[in-house]
């Protein structure tokens, strides 16, 4: 039998061996989410934050979360026309598992305006921000071709902890987000815009994501994102990853 201090030591060393975090993915869209997570762990990714976005995805997310798998649940702009009435249910889902740690992905998506009119997207977005601020939990933002309006709504709300998943802005937008104390999440794509964003931000304002399986293949792909950020910041990959994990833990209270 191990005693408590041995177990604690073992846990600490395990965490040291698994330093990285995928700040945004969709494990509910994989047929074997647990297997995908175990593969990510082997690659050094000990924490993933998996995001719902409609009622089906939210229920699946609730089933998947445990250990290093944390989740956010929400109604995304794309589904707002169909599922705005499901927003009230989020409060219940949020209380059912301590690994459900925020509301997301929520926001505005001008590309989806035909499927879900922007006026309805805004109403649902604001309502979810109200729930998050009343529960004092963070939100994960989806903003596509809507950044200035998204900023406005967030500033008018009482919300504090905001993560911009797949940040769509330029370096000035990134600085504006940082000034508000928000986090900018970098997806696994190469672009000169994102390089400039990474360069102007403090490492404490940056996290890395795969948005898998939509963009990256799986959460293990976050390593290549962290490597690129590390290179641009002139810090080692491990240190970069560890600092981001620390940021995530503090921000999401995990």
Measured from the CB of residue 160, what is the shortest distance to Zn ion in angstroms?
22
Q: Are 53 and 76 in contact, with CB atoms under 8 Å apart?
A: yes
- C-alpha–C-alpha distance, residues 96 and 147, integer Å: 32
> Exposed, middle or buried, 150 (CB in 10 Å: 0-12/13-18/19+)?
buried
Measured from the CB of residue 104, what is the shortest distance to Zn ion in angstroms?
8
Please, which residue, 173 or 211, has the CB nearer to Zn ion? 211
Under the phi-then-psi rule, with left for phi > 0, alpha for psi from -120 to 50, and beta for the rest, what region is 210? alpha
Measured from the CB of residue 162, what is the shortest distance to Zn ion in angstroms?
15
- C-alpha–C-alpha distance, residues 70 and 237, integer Å: 23
What's the longest Cα–Cα distance across the chain? 61
Interface mask toward Zn ion for 113-152; x: CB under 5 A? ----------------------------------------
Measured from the CB of residue 221, what is the shortest distance to Zn ion in angstroms?
14
Measured from the CB of residue 152, what is the shortest distance to Zn ion in angstroms?
22
Question: Binders of Zn ion among 191-220, rule CB under 5 A?
Answer: 211
Please, which residue, 211 or 221, has the CB nearer to Zn ion? 211
Please, which residue, 78 or 242, has the CB nearer to Zn ion? 78
Phi and psi at 124, nearest 5°, equal: -65, -40
SS3 call for 240: helix
- C-alpha–C-alpha distance, residues 205 and 178, integer Å: 6
Measured from the CB of residue 5, what is the shortest distance to Zn ion in angstroms?
40
Please, which residue, 103 or 230, has the CB nearer to Zn ion? 103
Please, which residue, 129 or 230, has the CB nearer to Zn ion? 129
Please, which residue, 111 or 158, has the CB nearer to Zn ion? 111
Q: Which residue is nearest to Zn ion (CB)?
A: 211
Total binding residues for Zn ion by CB under 5 A?
1
Beta strands in the chain (DSSP E): 20-25, 45-51, 69-73, 100-109, 139-144, 162-164, 183-186, 206-208
Residues that bind Zn ion (CB under 5 A): 211
């Amino acid at each position: 039998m191990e005693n408590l201090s041995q177990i604690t030591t073992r846990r600490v060393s395990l965490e040291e061996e698994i330093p990285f975090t995928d700040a945004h993915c969709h494990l509910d869209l994989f047929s074997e989410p647990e297997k995908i997570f175990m593969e990510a762990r082997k690659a050094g990714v000990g924490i993933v934050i998996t995001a719902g976005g409609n009622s089906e995805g939210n229920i699946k997310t609730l089933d998947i979360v445990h250990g290093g798998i944390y989740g956010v649940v929400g109604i995304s702009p794309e589904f707002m026309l169909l599922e705005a009435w499901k927003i009230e249910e989020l409060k219940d889902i949020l209380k059912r598992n301590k690994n459900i740690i925020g509301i997301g992905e929520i926001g505005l998506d001008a590309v989806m305006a035909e499927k879900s009119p922007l006026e309805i997207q805004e109403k649902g977005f604001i309502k979810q921000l109200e729930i998050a601020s009343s529960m004092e939990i963070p939100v994960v933002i989806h903003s596509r071709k809507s950044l200035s309006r998204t900023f406005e709504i967030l500033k008018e709300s009482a919300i504090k902890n905001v993560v911009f998943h797949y940040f769509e802005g330029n370096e000035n937008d990134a600085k504006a987000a940082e000034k508000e104390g928000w986090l900018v999440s970098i997806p696994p794509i190469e672009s000169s815009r994102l390089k400039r964003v990474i360069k102007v931000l403090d490492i404490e304002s940056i996290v890395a994501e795969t948005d898998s399986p939509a963009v990256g293949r799986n959460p293990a792909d976050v390593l290549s994102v962290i490597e690129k950020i590390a290179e641009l910041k002139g810090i080692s990959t491990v240190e970069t990853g560890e600092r981001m994990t620390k940021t995530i833990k503090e921000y999401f209270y995990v």
